[in-house]
Amino acid sequence: MTHMHDETISSPVIGIDLGTTNSVVAVCLDGRPRVLEEEGNALVPSVVGLAADGRLLVGEAARNQLAAFPDRTIASVKRRMGQAVKLSLAGTDYTPQEISAVILRSLKERAERALGCPVSRAVITVPAFFDEPQRQATLEAGRLAGLTVERIINEPTAASLVYHAGSTDRRHVIVYDLGGGTFDVSIVRIERGVVEVLSSKGDTSLGGDDFDELLARHVAARFQQEHDHDLMADAGTRWRLLTACERAKCALSTAASVQVVEEFIVMVRGRRVSLDVEVARHEYDELISGLVDRTIGCVDTAIRDSGLALSQIDELILVGGSTRTPLVQQRLRDELRREPRWSVDPDLAVALGAATQAASIAGQAVGPVLVDVATHTLGIAAVCGSPWSEQLSFVPILRRNSPLPARYEDLFSTHGDDQDLALIPVLQGESPRLEENREIGRLKLEGLNASADCDGKILVRFELSLDGTLQVMAVESRSGISQRLAIVGALSRMQEKDASAAAERLAALTGVAMLPADDAGGFEAGRHEPATASAGRPHEAVVRRARQALPGLGPEDTADVERLLRLIEEAAIAGDEPLLGGLVAELDDLLFYAAG
């Protein structure tokens, strides 16, 4: 192991590619991003397990026991991020973010060993297509691992950062990222050191694991024909088959055919039988061509959404281990009529880009500035149509591909007839059909008491910051009653009690206390949490009063109050308490004089 501590780095920020199959940690040293290897291994398998003696295993050691002890091993946890599921590890249930935290913690420790100093700050990448709950779950995992997550950035953005750091000419680049479990394609514009994502599209459950699964089914069918035995039926045997198929798949990237071999894989009629099936490249290509077509469909959509013609695209960058698949490259060449480019190992590009971004956060002069876009349309459910054919529909407010930070608002009416309560579901998705979008939260305005003769107006505002934090605010014009995103039953956001329970379970699992990095208020205090998280803090009362007063203020006061509210919010997010105190006092004064 090389010791790479640099005296000039006082508080290093690491870049982490938290992958479905493998994870990678990198850091910038002397202005250059470098992957932190151990014993020659850059990739840490994203697998967590418990050994027979109760020891916690992460990475290679955990992956090695996957086939033998599937009950005591968890792989591909990234696919579960943002879902309200429990994952069982040796009989105890964990959330996906707890398991991810174990992986993150081991990457943090790897960085500490390499740098020879404590590491507590990180940039973590996620697929551009990850939605809000999935991003939130990733943040929570980071905090459980004892990391301050400085920023969540999109994987394709990270990749383009590493390929184009420092270039000055304007280029349009397609970043095609096919990893183990997720697929992302983004069209980015790089100009004078600024990376702007023009559009992105993807599929959070499409990747090399699916190729393994298809190959395994094919091989199992051939074995069944010969031996009348289903290799997929038993979990342990299935894992051995999948592992053999993954090896064969990788070999097929360079060979025209392979033997899928696994010694003594099962007992058939009292006899130990080995697996030995030949698969040719063209057979494999047929198996996976439907999945590859799906990725090409996403590429077409992303190009269309970017507003560019194919002729305006300068370059195709491939990221992710599965882009080594010849059929993938062939289809991309045919479709895009250009040669893909790799100047960096596709497995490492994302982590290197994350390290580039991390270095600029740490104040080091590397890498271009980042401009990102919203990856989903966000809006609310509202009644639309004429009085005789009303229906509840999805009303988009902040559109997909809006540059970040984004702030959009819209005005809605209450429904007369003494409406006292407005429930506003917050949705994410691209379909005009309400039920095809995902509810990510809900606002509730109570005590409106609208009178029958005049409908009130509700202003709904969406703000999405660069780190993907969404804040939604609704204010009713006549009463001034307002609320910021109050999530009821959100899929992945943890409540404080869940957070401490998670920390306890993890402490028991790892034998180390794992508390959120800035644990002043548990999950309630972080800069990535929605603004409701800070409800109850002293400045909130003044802010609430200001919002209630807004509709009754003249234009000049309104502008002043709005400006202060914006500054207060920024100060609160940045955690700048002295600034916050000053601004709140100023707002308080302003309200006092405005009322007079």
Give the interface with ligand AMP as residue ranges (CB under 6 A). 19-22, 179-180, 207-209, 246, 249-250, 253, 320-322, 324-325, 347
Q: Nearest residue to ligand AMP, using CB?
A: 208
Q: What's the CA gap between 27 and 16, in Å, rounded?
A: 9
Q: What's the CA gap between 522 and 534, in Å, rounded?
A: 11
Q: Which residues are catalytic?
A: 17, 78, 155, 177
For 276, the 3-state DSSP assignment is strand
Contact between residue 547 and residue 480 where contact means Cβ atoms under 8 Å apart: yes
Taking the least distance from each CB to ligand AMP, the nearer of 66 and 445 is 66
Q: What's the CA gap between 592 and 586, in Å, rounded?
A: 10
Closest approach of ligand AMP to the CB of residue 78, in Å = 9
User: Which element (helix H / strand E) includes 196?
Assistant: strand 194-203
Taking the least distance from each CB to ligand AMP, the nearer of 61 and 549 is 61
The residues facing 153 across adjacent strands are 125
Vertex 334: Cα angle to 330 and 337 (nearest 5):
115
Q: Dihedrals φ, ψ of 248, to 5°?
A: -65, -40
The tokens for 50 are 């418990």
Contact between residue 94 and residue 505 where contact means Cβ atoms under 8 Å apart: yes
Taking the least distance from each CB to ligand AMP, the nearer of 59 and 208 is 208
Decide: residue 222, CB within 10 A, 0-12 exposed, 13-18 middle, 19+ buried.
Answer: middle
The tokens for 376 are 């989903």
Taking the least distance from each CB to ligand AMP, the nearer of 44 and 546 is 44
Q: What's the CA gap between 536 and 518, in Å, rounded?
A: 18
Radius of gyration for the alpha carbons in the chain, expressed in angstroms and rounded: 26
Taking the least distance from each CB to ligand AMP, the nearer of 22 and 364 is 22
Q: What's the CA gap between 236 and 464, in Å, rounded?
A: 44
Taking the least distance from each CB to ligand AMP, the nearer of 123 and 546 is 123
User: Which element (helix H / strand E) includes 202?
Assistant: strand 194-203
Taking the least distance from each CB to ligand AMP, the nearer of 178 and 565 is 178
The residues facing 203 across adjacent strands are 183
Closest approach of ligand AMP to the CB of residue 301, in Å = 22
Decide: residue 405, CB within 10 A, 0-12 exposed, 13-18 middle, 19+ buried.
Answer: middle
Decide: residue 77, CB within 10 A, 0-12 exposed, 13-18 middle, 19+ buried.
Answer: buried
Q: Dihedrals φ, ψ of 406, to 5°?
A: -120, 145
Closest approach of ligand AMP to the CB of residue 289, in Å = 15
The residues facing 472 across adjacent strands are 462
Taking the least distance from each CB to ligand AMP, the nearer of 246 and 439 is 246
Closest approach of ligand AMP to the CB of residue 236, in Å = 20
Closest approach of ligand AMP to the CB of residue 315, in Å = 20
Contact between residue 374 and residue 398 where contact means Cβ atoms under 8 Å apart: yes
Q: What's the CA gap between 445 and 226, in Å, rounded?
A: 66
Closest approach of ligand AMP to the CB of residue 180, in Å = 4
Q: Dihedrals φ, ψ of 481, to 5°?
A: -70, 130
The tokens for 468 are 């993907």
Taking the least distance from each CB to ligand AMP, the nearer of 72 and 78 is 78
Contact between residue 24 and residue 114 where contact means Cβ atoms under 8 Å apart: no
Taking the least distance from each CB to ligand AMP, the nearer of 81 and 473 is 81
Closest approach of ligand AMP to the CB of residue 43, in Å = 6
Closest approach of ligand AMP to the CB of residue 67, in Å = 15
For 481, the 3-state DSSP assignment is coil
- DSSP letters along 206-263, please? -SHHHHHHHHHHHHHHHHHHHHS--TTSSHHHHHHHHHHHHHHHHHHTT-SEEEEEEE
Q: What's the CA gap between 127 and 298, in Å, rounded?
A: 14
Closest approach of ligand AMP to the CB of residue 322, in Å = 4
Q: What's the CA gap between 568 and 267, in Å, rounded?
A: 69
Contact between residue 170 and residue 190 where contact means Cβ atoms under 8 Å apart: yes
Closest approach of ligand AMP to the CB of residue 325, in Å = 5
Closest approach of ligand AMP to the CB of residue 539, in Å = 43
Taking the least distance from each CB to ligand AMP, the nearer of 20 and 237 is 20
